A and B are shown apart, each in its own frame.
Chain A
Amino acid sequence: AQKITQTQPGMFVQEKEAVTLDCTYDTSDQSYGLFWYKQPSSGEMIFLIYQGSYDEQNATEGRYSLNFQKARKSANLVISASQLGDSAMYFCAMREGSTGSYIPTFGRGTSLIVHP
């Protein structure tokens, strides 16, 4: 079974609107971390936001917020006030602690296109 599921291969949003990118995860660990990364066409992976499994509040970083619903095992990324520069691939990832090596697992990604 996939550990990280991103069901939206592509999303379109109009500039200045908010958009939610879905991510669900599967783990039996109590301790884990969830991440979102942005990958523009240039290829570099840009860290956006992190949520720890024990964090009670949803993580926020500027225009990015993570809607963490632990019981549902979902960690959706919300981008507010979309900008043209937000067009990129977005990857959800998880690191589990049971093995001690913290090997990260990535979802398939969502391609976001922001249009004027």
Chain B
Amino acid sequence: GAVVSQHPSWVICKSGTSVKIECRSLDFQATTMFWYRQFPKQSLMLMATSNEGSKATYEQGVEKDKFLINHASLTLSTLTVTSAHPEDSSFYICSASETGTYNEQFFGPGTRLTVL
């Protein structure tokens, strides 16, 4: 199956710093990628839909100035957590799928962010 990579797999940072997480589709082109946040023992919460070449669509309650999403190419989307605070500590997962299908989403391995 198709592979989606995420980098870094984990990161620890100080409060107030910004952290960038990359999501890449390695062997297919993804017009659309999704960014999720997951708290321990909870479900995935969709944060935003990342569209190549246009602005991301954020879910209600997600601060777009806090979570900057850039989808500059058909294989790369980035999520930047700006001025991170301890409450931003979470597991962030991206996924990608080929456009216009109900088919399988391919998930990245996730990034565990800890803000001290």
Contacts and interface: CB of A to CB of B under 8 A. Distances in A.
Given A44-B109, A44-B110, A108-B43, A102 B102 contact: yes
Contact of B43 (A32, A102, A103, A109): A109
A32 B102 CA distance: 7
Nearest to B109: A44
A97 B107 CA distance: 20
A52 B104 CA distance: 11
Contacts, number: 62
Interface of A: 31-33, 35, 37, 42-45, 47, 50, 52, 89, 91, 95, 97, 101-109, 111
Contacts of B112: 43
B60 interface: no
Contact of B46 (A31, A104, A108): A104
Given A33-B103, A95-B102, A108-B42, A103 B49 contact: yes
Contacts of A107: 43
Interface in B61-108: 91, 93, 95, 97, 100-108
Contact of A103 (B46, B91, B103): B46
Given A101-B32, A101-B49, A106-B44, A44 B107 contact: yes
B109 A43 contact: yes
Contacts of A101: 32, 49, 57
Interface in B32-61: 32, 34, 41-44, 46, 49, 57
A110 to B, nearest CB: 11
24 contacts: A35-B104, A35-B105, A37-B107, A43-B91, A43-B93, A43-B110, A43-B112, A44-B107, A44-B110, A45-B95, A45-B110, A47-B1, A47-B105, A47-B106, A50-B104, A52-B102, A95-B105, A101-B57, A102-B97, A102-B101, A107-B43, A108-B43, A109-B43, A111-B41
